[in-house]
Chain A
Amino acid sequence: MFSTEQSCWFIRKVVCWRAVASIAWAVLLLLPITAVFVILSRFSLLHPIQTFSECLSFLTCASAIFSLILMCGVIIMVGFLNLEYYTVIPTIACSKIALLGQLLHPRQFVNSLAHCIMGIIVAWCCAVTLGGRYETIGYPCTQGDGTDSSPQMCLNEYHLILLLAGAFVGFSHSLLAVISNINYVSFHTVQQYKYLRFKGSLPFVVKCSAAQALYSVRNYIVVYFFLGYIPKAWICKTLNLHLNSSVHPLDSIAGLLDLSLLYHQWISASFLLFTWNITLLLFRIFVTEVYSFPVQSSFTEDAHQCLPKVLTDKQPMILKFLALQDVALLSQHSPSRRCEVFSLSQPGGHPHNWNAISKECLSLLADLTQRLVAYHDTVATNGRAKSLSTGSERKTSSETSFTSATEDLMSPRPTLLLRTPASVFARFVVGTPHSPLTAPFTPDLDSPFASPALRRLTAPLDQCSPWFGTVQSPHIMRRAPKLWSTSTDSQVNGSPPASPASVPSPKQEPFKPSRLALFLRNRKEQLPEASSQALFADSQAHIWALEGLSYLVQASFSEDQFGVIQTTLPSILGCMLILQEAVDRHFKLPHASSKPVRSASGMGDSTYKTLRFALRATLKTAIYRITTTFGNHLNAVQMSAEHRKRLQQFLEYKE
């Protein structure tokens, strides 16, 4: 069930090839990385020349080549998982419970399992590379102290500890990936060539892989010290190996304090994480590369690949994001393509290109405004007996004017566009109005592993989640789901916002909230800033829409020959001013303007945490760009008195 044929062409022809190119580069880079790893792992200060000759001879032997082939397989798998799980809109857990739900999700379980297995494979390759005492899992030994004992196979614990370290690092990597949103792909404001971007971020990747490996190994040692005997016994039992009692066991303090063992564990973990992070980095760089869409095409069969058509597509998200980025860039940098945007259609003389672009950008902005207003109202009426369903009375005057200003631009189609992550497999679920951002216990319906039947089953689960089952107090009912969760989906969807109190619940008899419910409620409200982050999770699209519109309007002052911009100028200004008002109001809320703690460690991209600040700055700059360009000519533009007052503030540089 593919959403549209048009989105398919992009995934098929662009995204997949970009992913393949990034994996190919990662595989090519594997050879030098392995060589460096071999040298570092076998280096001895006293015999440098001997080290190099040993490394050279090792790299040409069969086992090294076999492990290299295995590693290539792992890299390809990692690259495939990257392509599978990446998203341009981060999934933001609004509470600790939600985060726990993400971690325990079946899809995440599969991911962790895959990482565990890959970790073991890489660790095996490392063990082969390190050689010596790490090389095999069993070794012939003579049990007992007498000479009469028969030779048998004993467990090589050094080999086992390395394999388990690989599994542990892989597992913790996949967990940390969820917490730090490692699958989120952000777009850069500075457009550099791929090679330069790669070169620029390489030192950071090295540093963060080494640091992450250090922490993982530390945790692993603690775990192994306490629980190491379990896998040891299990392996011995399954493989029919014996424990050599003459060798000191490794899950003791003396055994673990072996410096060379620690170093080898650390360098293996660093190697593992570095190869994976490099694959991820290359994938990010390749997939976010600017794609230049044609503004118009002379052939009708290519029309679906042109910018006006591509912009209006809902899926996949990556296509929409790249199209918006292209709009923002063409409006800044290429006069010839701007000229195409301002041009009129040949028979008829309609500015189709401009209409499509401006309509899409404005509907995006209007969508955000609506979302902000709804969120603000939810928070403002929090705890008070004011029903949300009476939508008419909470409309402020500005909102009324806003609807009048953008009515013609709002198409009747539902404006929910930016909710489902843009996984290649996510196109299965295009119609589902469920957001992965909200409910803590609902399984992520965009999972490729969830069957349609499961999805149908889980859809109403939203309301019968454990939370709804236990908490029946109307006070909490009204309050909790609204406060720190992004429950604005239904409103964004176009339907009037339903009051949570009127949700038909199987059990309606009121009783006191249980302790578990109170506990859950407290947990739910723990990450207050996250709800604000989740509200602006897709704001990169809005930022580009604002930039694109404002630069195009600025350029139209001298380049627009037919005056196509002039007809939309009032609605553009109106839309921006309303959004400005809504954003200002949002930033007056508690926690909205608090800066997130800067955590530079890890491969997770934390750009989404500051997107709301970027949006606020871009919005102001966009309005100023229009007012500085047009100056007092804007007085001739028709708009409401309130907007004119607001615009006057901008014209006088008092905002």
Chain B
Amino acid sequence: MCSLALFPAPLACGQTTLCESNNELLSGTATDHRLKQSTHINYSVVLYFPRESLKLHCRTESSSKAAFLDHSETLWMRSAAAWRDGGLTGLLNEITNSNTEVPKWLSVSSGFTLALLRWFSSFHGSLFPHLTMSSENMLAEFSQVLNWSDCVVRAFAWHPHADKFAVALLDDSIKIYNPKSATTPTLKHRLQRSVAAVQWKPMCASALAVACQNCLLVWHVDPCSLSTRPSSGCAQVLSNPGHSPVTSIAWSPSGSLLVSASPMDTAMMVWDVASESCVPLQRVGGGGVTFLSWSPDSSHVLASTPSALFRVWETRTWTCERWPCVKGRCQSGCWSPDGSRLLFTVQGEMVIYVLTFGDTPGPQAAAVVADLSETTFNTADGDIIVGGEIHSLSWDPTGERLAVLLEGDPQAADRPAIIAVFKTRTNPIFELLPCGFVQGEPGAEPRMMQFHPNFQHGALLTVCWSSGRITHVPFYFLGAGVPHFGLSGSPSLPRPQERPADFANQSLFTELISLLLFFFTAFFFYITNNATLPPTVRSRSLKLLSNSKPTDF
């Protein structure tokens, strides 16, 4: 079992993690960060969304009532409005409040009914405490983004096949970046509020599913279109009464179905997006569904609930296994690329569990594979405590690196949120090996991370920081399980000629490999660099960034 004590110490202040090469995480200062990154094709775009540049909603829609003069309506009008806005409770509230106009027995009886309803809902709420939360708090609580409500970048998604990604921002807009295209479409919709998750549809170039506060949106963004503001007619609205807020969505890897989850709804929805129909899969235990993850071989779906219980659905006949946890709810989970292993974390515990699925009817118990309890490191800047509860997990598509986002403590300065990266090994037994910590600029905490789905030279971790910056950290390695076709599979080293001293320190084996690879990759990289990347790409994308302020409308 791996623990944090085996990790190399975190970097000193001012140093940022650049990449992994030759089994070692390389670091640099913040200034040469972008310079180094820019050497790599396509991933040169370091996006930066300063908080000041976003035009935020100053007040919510319901509070706009205060701006208008109060004028008296008849009781019937008010009751009708209350019924429309607030349903039964709204109507009862209205009748109880206007006790001067209605007969006494009516106001008393409605007050009594209201009290009964409240008592019942509080009873229900005591069974499932999350039901009493507001929908914003609920999204923040169950989101895979650390400190979601305060985060500039609220959701991020790489396209599973093409080289583009979508970023959902604090101002409820979504931007789509494509290094090969000059346009950056901005998606805005009336219903697109409090985006909790975005995901691209697999086996499709254009469809992007967005989990919003009240509904699901599926955008169809034509990749060839030059429009920067696709109209809201390009979005399909999928909604079901009672199924909001949506905290998690997952496309099936075959691209045919979409599942969505809401902590308020005990049913998990399986959507046939094209026909806008859904099949609810209802299981009452747990009181809702918070997080979904579809295994890459599309045979299982992990569905965690707000209670100490999660389910693993089997997708052929849609039956589920119940997995009660001891301490808290399942916070996050991820599947191995072949779908045979599920790693998950439980709130209140500092370990990573593994479940193995195979030909046998199913696993009996989860095993602990890593212990991330708090460990003190002595660095030049003083002691740093790393460890604690785990917020999210991410496994790269080759199955070689596992990134773990540790929550830290926002109050204590010496316990920052940090990303720990493990190497994973499946033979002879499954185990996690330490790789290192990924750190950003001073003061920036990681909020969310995702691996690039098809990075050629290893794995590429994209991290969104609390400062509003999005950076990419490549891990260069030779995948063991992935077949390599020709030279394109070999790892390319980032500017190896700049760091000859590093190579001298390596062992003989690594040296041989590096020397061989050096010649091959330097040559190949030179060709690909020159062939595929016009020199203007970088400057163009930077220019775009400066233009990307939200438009006034």
- Chain A residues at the B interface, C-beta cutoff of 8 Å: 188-193, 196, 200, 332-333, 547, 551, 595, 598, 607, 610-611, 613-614, 616-618, 620-621, 624-625, 628, 652-655
Tell me which of A190, A598, A614 contacts B274 (CB under 8 A): A614
Q: Is the CB–CB distance between B223 and A200 below 8 Å?
A: no
CA of A628 to CA of B254, assembled, Å:
11
Known: A200-B282, A618-B256. A654 touches B205 (CB 8 A): yes
Report if B161 contacts A (CB, 8 A). yes
Residues of chain A with a CB closer than 8 A to B319's CB: 193, 196
Question: A201 → chain B, closest Cβ, in Å?
Answer: 9
CA of A613 to CA of B275, assembled, Å:
6
CA of A654 to CA of B254, assembled, Å:
18
Residues of chain A with a CB closer than 8 A to B223's CB: 653-654
| Chain B 296-325 interface residues, beta-carbon cutoff 8 Å to A | 316-319
Rank and list the top 8 A-B pairs by shortest CB-CB distance, nearest first.
A610-B275, A617-B274, A653-B162, A653-B205, A624-B203, A614-B274, A613-B274, A621-B203
Q: Is the CB–CB distance between B255 and A621 below 8 Å?
A: yes
Question: A578 → chain B, closest Cβ, in Å?
Answer: 20
Q: Is the CB–CB distance between B274 and A624 below 8 Å?
A: no
Q: Is the CB–CB distance between A191 and B317 below 8 Å?
A: yes
CA of A196 to CA of B256, assembled, Å:
22
Residues of chain B with a CB closer than 8 A to A653's CB: 159, 161-162, 205, 223
Question: B42 → chain A, closest Cβ, in Å?
Answer: 14
Determine the residue in chain B with the shortest Cβ distance to A628.
B161
Tell me which of B204, B275, B282 contacts A624 (CB under 8 A): B204
Known: A189-B257, A610-B274. A625 touches B203 (CB 8 A): yes
Question: A291 → chain B, closest Cβ, in Å?
Answer: 14
Q: Is the CB–CB distance between B317 and A193 below 8 Å?
A: yes
| Chain B 228-265 interface residues, beta-carbon cutoff 8 Å to A | 254-257
Residues of chain A with a CB closer than 8 A to B281's CB: 190, 192, 200
Residues of chain A with a CB closer than 8 A to B257's CB: 189-190
CA of A492 to CA of B452, assembled, Å:
48
CA of A192 to CA of B316, assembled, Å:
8
CA of A192 to CA of B281, assembled, Å:
9
Report if B326 contacts A (CB, 8 A). no
Residues of chain A with a CB closer than 8 A to B256's CB: 189, 547, 618, 621
Q: A190-B318, A610-B277, A625-B255 are in contact. List 6 more A-B contacts (CB 8 A).
A: A192-B317, A333-B316, A547-B256, A611-B275, A621-B255, A624-B203
CA of A611 to CA of B254, assembled, Å:
19
Question: B313 → chain A, closest Cβ, in Å?
Answer: 11
CA of A240 to CA of B471, assembled, Å:
93
Interface centre among A190, A628, A655 (most CB of B within 10 A): A190
| Chain B 494-545 interface residues, beta-carbon cutoff 8 Å to A | none
Report if B384 contacts A (CB, 8 A). no
CA of A645 to CA of B355, assembled, Å:
46
CA of A598 to CA of B240, assembled, Å:
12
CA of A15 to CA of B203, assembled, Å:
36
Q: Is the CB–CB distance between B204 and A200 below 8 Å?
A: no
Known: A614-B274, A621-B203, A655-B205. A190 touches B255 (CB 8 A): no
Q: Is the CB–CB distance between A610 and B276 below 8 Å?
A: yes
CA of A621 to CA of B201, assembled, Å:
10
Question: B315 → chain A, closest Cβ, in Å?
Answer: 9
CA of A46 to CA of B254, assembled, Å:
58
| Chain B 403-459 interface residues, beta-carbon cutoff 8 Å to A | none
CA of A653 to CA of B178, assembled, Å:
12
Residues of chain A with a CB closer than 8 A to B274's CB: 610, 613-614, 616-618
Question: A268 → chain B, closest Cβ, in Å?
Answer: 28
| Chain B 63-107 interface residues, beta-carbon cutoff 8 Å to A | none
29 pairs, A vs B, C-beta closer than 8 Å: A189-B256, A189-B270, A190-B257, A190-B281, A190-B318, A192-B317, A193-B317, A196-B319, A333-B316, A551-B254, A610-B276, A610-B277, A611-B275, A613-B274, A613-B275, A614-B274, A614-B275, A618-B256, A618-B274, A621-B204, A621-B255, A621-B256, A624-B203, A625-B203, A653-B161, A653-B162, A654-B223, A655-B205, A655-B206
